[in-house]
Structure 1
Amino acid sequence: MFAQTQLRKRCTNWLLATGLLLMLTSCAEPPSAVERIKEEGVLRVITRNSPSTYFQDRNGEAGFEYELVKRFASHLGVELQIETAENIEEIFTRINRPGGPALAAAGLVASEGRQDLA
């Protein structure tokens, strides 16, 4: 009888410890977007080819938004990878794909119609 009680206590303690461990591990927050970028070592940005966002001239890549994301990538200590899209719809399609670019830098402004896409 004593052995049976001891066995029951051990089983109960083991189940409680296992349950607690499962609860603690499931409470971990997923990594933030910045943490994922740092882990990958690459900031993938999608933009449009235009004078105010991104373009290439005889000196290489340029544009106001290009300079912003270039400095952001440098601040994070990661490589910058630029992708271009033909239009805004393509930008939203590609950025919402799993594994798509982390950031869109294309002269975008917030609007009611775009809130659902972002």
Structure 2
Amino acid sequence: RIRQELNFMDYVPILFISAKSGQRVDQVMPMALKVQEERLAHVSTGSLNRILQKAQSVHAPTSKTGTSIKLFYGTQVRTDPPTFMIYCNNPKLAHFTYLRFIENQIRLEYPFTRTPIRLVMKPRHE
């Protein structure tokens, strides 16, 4: 039920613990350390661009207006949480479902299974 209610945060680990009995309390700190490790992970620009290229070839973005978003390149600009700047032709064409697809492709390749990922779309010539 918790996963259903928080389906937009499917990356968040859930631990069922009891402070009263102490059941599984010993798992909290190791999980917190794993989460922090993932939040500090860095993806090289080359690796990220391979992921973006592959994602575009597997699932080309669509548009109702006839103009589709084109991703040129991306780079990780921050950690904690991992934040990726992706340069494209027009950020307004980036539908949230396509951004979620890109996020999932990054998660498939890198261990960001317990932390949020931020994607920031920028026009290439800004």
TM-score > 0.5, shorter chain as reference: no
Structure (1 or 2) with the larger CA radius of gyration: 1
TM-score for both structures, normalised by structure 1: 0.28
Normalized per residue, the structure richer in helix is 1
TM-score for both structures, normalised by structure 2: 0.27
